[in-house]
Chain A
């Protein structure tokens, strides 16, 4: 079956620290991979995506590389800001369904 496993939070970092949120997946085919972000009181928003192996998705300083050999799609940012505080969801899409991880809450302190 299809599933996504992401590192449990919460994660608390100081401003300008380096961020990594791990995500691994299990899929029966060749899924597309996504990171969504949820700010407090809002719905999810697409942060970045990658549709095939070795693709790198990037947006707002965040990056993630689709690694088929390790079935991973880890989210990274070199220097986090207070405004990055949110819950981050890794997801994979196969056919009509999007399968989400459990989410990782990030808090960035000044």
Chain B
């Protein structure tokens, strides 16, 4: 059972570079979301989607874009990376918005 798969696991970027963090789930979940985890701040919601074609902003959306063209995939794009985006990023999905969340194993991103 693959569950929620995130790639890459580690990434180092230079300031101003762009990249996409991939997230895929094979559970046919409608709800998908992206969190960042920073020391002393817990997890903060970046963007979420309640279904294909629908996305919305979370608590800290600035500097990130998302799209949801399929039920399975929910990529997170950094258009111009900044050192403040150094963090661990988690993708999560659930059957519905209020259901149990399943998390991926995380992407550790460093922006120099």
Contact = CB atoms under 8 A, between A and B. Distances in A.
A44 B4 contact: no
B101 interface: yes
Interface residues of A, number: 21
Contact of A96 (B35, B90, B97, B104): B97
**B contacts with A: majority SS:** strand
Interface stretch (A63-71, A73-81, A99-107): A99-107
Contacts of A97: 45, 48, 58-59
B50 interface: yes
Nearest to B43: A100
Given A96-B56, A97-B48, A44 B43 contact: yes
Contacts of B106: 42-43
A48 B40 CA distance: 22
Interface in A2-28: 4
Residue from A32, A45, A89, A100 whose CB has the most chain B CB atoms within 10 Å: A100
B42 A32 contact: no
Interface string A36-61: 10000111111001000000000000
Interface of A: 4, 32, 36, 41-46, 49, 89, 93, 95-103
30 contacts: A41-B105, A42-B103, A42-B106, A43-B103, A43-B105, A43-B106, A44-B43, A44-B90, A44-B92, A44-B103, A46-B100, A49-B100, A89-B42, A89-B43, A93-B98, A96-B31, A96-B97, A97-B45, A97-B48, A97-B58, A98-B45, A98-B101, A99-B45, A99-B59, A100-B35, A100-B43, A101-B42, A102-B40, A102-B41, A103-B42
